[in-house]
Amino acid sequence: MIRHLKVYGRRFGDALLPPTCTLCGGATMGALLCAPCTADLPWNTPACPGCALPAAQPVLCPACLHKPRAFDAAHAAFVLATPVQEGIHALKYQARFQQAALLGTAFASRVRARTEPLPTLLIPVPLHWRRQWSRGYNQSIELARVIGMELGIAVDATAAKRLRATPDQIGQSAAQRRKNLKDAFAVCPRVAGQHVALLDDVMTTGATLEELARACKAVGATTIEAWAIARQPLH
């Protein structure tokens, strides 16, 4: 609880967060980052609306035209690059929860600008219980709390469960990732009829989000968006 008071300290007007820019130490107008540092972030725009890959135009890329993804749309606020990459790493491996406030607020600012209707439910990608137990938290839940509060979307962190511990996906091909993830998730039927956003910290190939999207569709979710703080560009 203390942790979340810290994350939202800014909202309650206390002095838990420094009044200066988190990146350069310069003056801000009560925000976490100053305007020049905000403008310098590796914003992922324009991007393909189907898979969130950086693109020259905000239209479906050839891969999405050829084979639509299991989710209906994808949105990643950033390309996975400095300083966003370091921020995600600090949140994920060093329990630096202030990064969830920074990254989540920035992500929400981008989504708030859109004209399409917002999702009705935000589901953070679950970790297998053993991994969550050893890490002590799930970084996607920390991010979802901030984004849900910023955008006024209900967060359901227990609607989806990861049934199997999947091996670390780093360095695996897209085909291997798909195989590892098959039937990896179970989704609660209360997701039926909802316009769902699935949230992950990083979208690499999108295989995890696709497998979770399939599980949501199977129980009757109507529309599914894949949300990630950052998108790994193609090499």
Binding residues (CB under 5 A) for Zn ion: these are 21, 23-24, 26, 34, 37, 48, 50-51, 61, 64
Instruction: Please state the separation of Cα 182 from the chain's center in Å.
Output: 21
- Residue 33 Cβ, how far from Zn ion at the closest point, in Å? 6
Q: What is the DSSP string of 92-113?
A: HHH--THHHHHHHHHHHHHHHT
| Residue 147: how many other CB atoms lie within 10 Å | 26
Residue-level length of the chain: 235
CA atoms within 13 A on the CB side of 3: 13
Cβ proximity to Zn ion: between 140 and 205 the closer is: 205
Q: How far is the CB of 213 from Zn ion (least distance, A)?
A: 14
Taking the complex as a whole, the smallest distance from the CB of residue 135 to Zn ion amounts, in Å, to 30
50 or 124: CB nearest Zn ion = 50
Q: Which residues contact 39 (CB under 8 A, 6 or more apart)?
A: none
Residue number with CB closer to Zn ion (23 or 219)? 23
Which CB sits closer to Zn ion, 102 or 159? Answer: 102
Minimum separation from the CB atom of position 137 to Zn ion (A): 27
